[in-house]
Amino acid sequence: MKFAQIIEFRTDHIDTFNANLDAWKIKTEGRRIPHVAVLRRDREGENTYLFLVEFASQEAAMENSGNPEVGEFVAALTAICEGPLTYRSLDVLREEDL
């Protein structure tokens, strides 16, 4: 079953987030667990963002979480945020292209 995680955060430094993500992609090229990541901005929440990460399974997500570069990325994200990160872990029950 596919597994998704949503990380909600607030920051005035979204360009730094994007630069950190680009650097993480280069650093982990050829070694990272394949997954999809989508960054969204909350139109009604000032400087509020949702980072959706989807994996083939929860096991793949947990394997990815064990990667030291993921910990470094989360630490860098936490450093630029106003307040704590909010996590939601989700099983993907249905997916449609409509």
Q: Write out pLDDT tens, residues 18-75.
A: 999 999 999 999 888 889 999 999 999 999 999 999 999 999 999 999 999 999 999 9
Q: What is the pLDDT of residue 9?
A: 98
User: Class for domain 3-91, per CATH?
Assistant: alpha beta
Element (H, E) at 59: helix 58-65
Distance from first CA to last CA of the chain, Å, rounded? Answer: 21
pTM for this predicted structure: 0.91
For the chain, the structural domain boundaries read 3-91
Q: Which residues of 30-60 are buried (b: 16+ CB within 10 A; e: fewer)?
A: eeebebeeeeeeeeeeeeebbbbbbbeebeb
Whether residue 4 contacts residue 53, with contact meaning beta carbons closer than 8 Å, is answered with yes
State residue 41's pLDDT score.
Answer: 98
Given this model, what pLDDT does residue 13 score? 98
pLDDT of residue 32: 87
